[in-house]
Structure 1
Amino acid sequence: MSTELKTTTEQSETVDLRTGEVLPAPPNITAVAEQLVAAARGQGIELTGPNGLLTGLTRQVLQSALEAELTEHLGYDPGDRVGKQTPNSRNGSTPKTVRTEIGDLTIQVPRDRAGTFAPVVVPKHQRRIAGFDEAVISLYAKGMTTGDIAKHLSDLYGSDVSHDLVSTVTDKVLGDMQEWQARPLDLVYPVVLIDALVIKVRDGQVANRPVYVAVGIDLEGHRDVLGLWMGPTGGEGAKQRMNMLTELRNRGVADVCIVCRDGLKSLPDAITAIWPLATVQQCVVHLVRNSLRYASKKYWSKITGQLREVYTAPTIAAAEARFAEFAEQWRSLYPAMTQMWESAWGEFVPFLKFPPEIRRLIYTTNGIESLNARFRQATRRRGHFPNEQATMKVLYLTVLERRPNRTNPTGQIASWKAIPNTLSITYGDRLGIN
């Protein structure tokens, strides 16, 4: 016995410890694959395509898996006389075409007489094997239209893929989107950034619709998209903004220390109504951009340079001095520009109270500009959307499609470790930092 076991061990065989039976070693998959490829080429068989080697192997694997599932369900092998003694038995098969990563395959799904067999490999009523839906959703999130996706997949799989099929697949995310939009949020956020972008949507006729985006920075220094909301046609929608903030509070956000906003009108009143203790910070970048709308292009470089001295000043007093010089030079030529800054001054200066690492965090909504850039990339090719639901579906999928950052794999904001303690000096125990 010992000699026999030694021999089988040298042949890389294994022993069943329960029965002592010597079992043959599993085949060398690489060697088998090389033999199959060599044989296929020798016989002029293509590796891919409807009659290719890979297609045939995939069909055989699926077929064998289905037969094995039925055997396990019935409790006996095909042809075993034991089956005649059981109340259920095999009952032929039904052809079924399924769509896989390599194209359409027709398989024979075995049946049982009792009709209780429910295959797992290829479930009933399912005609797409895992991977197809994921590919469709990924392409949709990257900005491809249903027509683009249908053509791409038709070329890839060698079979027709309809627009309706693509829409059906992407509609599967609607339930997940609703759950995501209603998910509970943290009790407090040190910083929340609120911005908006404009997207063309057909509502009877094509019109510009604002989409509001809220991004929260949590106590661990991670950015999280808190939600997306579409506003009404032809206006900013003060009621919609109040509803947006109320929804965030109802989802658990009891307090926010700093809210950095873009130029949305009436938003400060809505913020203080929902979070009375919040500091409202006007986005400095938006202020600078809006300033250039009032000025001739030949002065842009000079104006931006002088404004940079204002918002990079070391103290509020220094910023006031720099702005006084700026206003004295430009008030007579561009009174509306200087008046805009004077009106926004109360919401411009809060960030000047903090050290540089926090200033960079809150002085602008550019913290979500990379997200907005991805939104624009995903919506640009479409021109306009047929309805609000289609719009929000694409934006939601874009949010989910997180892109890895090799320089910052954890996603934590740089220099975050020093920020919470600095914020706690201003906001005390509101942050819950011990």
Structure 2
Amino acid sequence: MKNLHFTQEQVTKILEEIAIKENGLQELQKLSLEAMMRAEREEHNATNGDMSNGYRPRRTFGRGKIIELRVPRSRNGQFYPILLSLLRDQEEECRKLAFNLYGAGLTTEQVGQIFGDIYGKEYSTSQISRMFDYARNDVQTWLQRPLEPYYPIIMIDATFIYTRRIDHVSKEGYYTILGVRADRTREVLAVINFPTESANAWEVVLQSLKERGLKEIGLIVCDSLTAIEDSIWRQFPETEIQLCAIHLQRNVNKHIKPKDKALVAEDLKEVLRTGDRNDTVEKGYQRWLEFCSKWGKYYPSIKRMGENNRYKLNFTYLGYDYRTHNMLYSTNWIERLNRDYKRTTRMRGALPGPDATILLLGYVAMTRSAYQRKIPKIDYEQNKFHWEE
């Protein structure tokens, strides 16, 4: 074959005859790739004193179809065609594109249709799902990574997403922990599934953070779940706790008639005010007691709130620099993340299982570019938090 000589016109004619056949373009692509790899092996053998040693099979994509390639081998086993690296990079990009579309809110079926438009072949939902294997590994590795020993601030909250488990669908809890690092950037430390939310489950989550290297937390901001503070203090006894002020407002509103809500909201705004350099925890709690006394005359449930000393934890933020109050008094940062979770999962209805849900939520959490920026003004609090220079 090496002694055959074709004119340019003959070569063109041969290629045209191959191209017009069924799957001819794929065949031309296969012939070209294999010829390039054989030529590369000849160069390798001449340079390294190696010898050819047959072929091995390799699959790749070509115009929406699988192409079976014969990859040349050498006797010493050190030959690896540069072309294979290019093909592997192309396949990796395909998998990343598929999961980026999925993570942006598209279903696997919609991703398959888009791939059909790009590559000339519609991919099934199972084929698209298999493309996510690399992402599953990346997300799991990220969620299990070692943690810093110290976080000045951590916010915790659970969001509920329809999830299929065995033969039924129900809303299940997905626990998220968002941490502020000593360099003033943020990162999600964990996304963990429990069917329901409870203080005991949160204790398990906090214990898992300690196992990954976390030793000290300055402040934990959380909702007012019953006994959540006991679970936190069993794991981190020196940590201060701020019960979310926004959750407190919502809780109060549940007990108020519609006609009184505007007046109650105005009073609560004064009770939970921020940015006053002269304010203290004691002053804030005293305003709360006066609020409960005023409205407790009309609503016994509000009166009972005033008799529960636990509500003092809603005013912990007043013990910090007044310029940080509006960042510390609620779980707003993590609630924004929860909204992003819901935006990503909304189009899918019920997700096929907890693992699939954590894959999506983990992807959303690990790709938030806003968390890479330093939080302004948070380092005004120098006494209770330790910041990196």
TM over 0.5: yes
Gaps of 5+ in 2: 1-22
Q: What's the CA shift string for 1:242-293, capped at 9, x where partnerless?
A: 1111111121111111111113222211110011111111010111112112
Change (3 A) 1:400 1:69: farther
1:412 match: secondary structure: coil
Q: What's the CA shift string for 1:391-430, capped at 9, x where partnerless?
A: 1111111112223x5xxx95100123433x2425xxxxxx
Q: Is the 8 A contact 1:260 1:280 kept in 2?
A: yes
Matched, 1:369 2:335: yes
Distance 2:67 2:304 in 1: 72
Change (3 A) 1:98 1:308: same
1:172 match: secondary structure: helix
- Name the structure 1 match of 2:120: 158
Q: Is the 8 A contact 1:97 1:127 kept in 2?
A: no
- Name the structure 1 match of 2:150: 188
Matched, 1:282 2:218: no
Distance 1:305 1:175 in 2: 50
Q: Is the 8 A contact 2:50 2:76 kept in 1?
A: no
- Name the structure 2 match of 1:293: 254
Matched, 1:348 2:314: yes
Distance 1:58 1:311 in 2: 69
Change (3 A) 1:254 1:432: farther
Q: Which residue, out of 202, 214, 218, partners 1:253?
A: 214
Deviation at 1:227, TM superposition (A): 0.6
Deviation at 1:59, TM superposition (A): 8.1
- Name the structure 2 match of 1:70: 41
- Name the structure 2 match of 1:176: 138
- Name the structure 2 match of 1:303: 264
Q: Which amino acid aligns with 2:44?
A: H
Deviation at 1:124, TM superposition (A): 12
1:386 match: secondary structure: coil
1:277 match: secondary structure: coil
TM-score (norm 1): 0.72
Q: What's the CA shift string for 1:120-177, capped at 9, x where partnerless?
A: 4336996963410110111121122211211221122211312122111113233333
Correspondences of 1:12-411 after superposition (within 5 Å): 66-75=37-46, 88-89=51-52, 98-99=60-61, 103-104=64-65, 106=67, 109-112=70-73, 116=77, 118-122=80-84, 129-204=91-166, 205-232=168-195, 235-312=196-273, 314-340=279-305, 342-343=307-308, 344-403=310-369, 411=373
Q: Give the % identical residues.
A: 25
Where relative contact order (Cα < 8 A, 6+ residues apart) is larger, the structure is 2
RMSD: 3.5
1:258 match: secondary structure: strand
Q: What's the CA shift string for 1:46-104, capped at 9, x where partnerless?
A: xxxx999xx9999898567534532343337xxxxxx9xx773486897x76336x755
- Name the structure 2 match of 1:36: none
Distance 1:265 1:320 in 2: 19
Change (3 A) 1:298 1:127: same
Gaps of 5+ in 1: 1-49, 77-82, 425-430
1:173 match: secondary structure: helix
Distance 2:147 2:71 in 1: 48
Change (3 A) 1:110 1:222: closer
TM-score (norm 2): 0.80
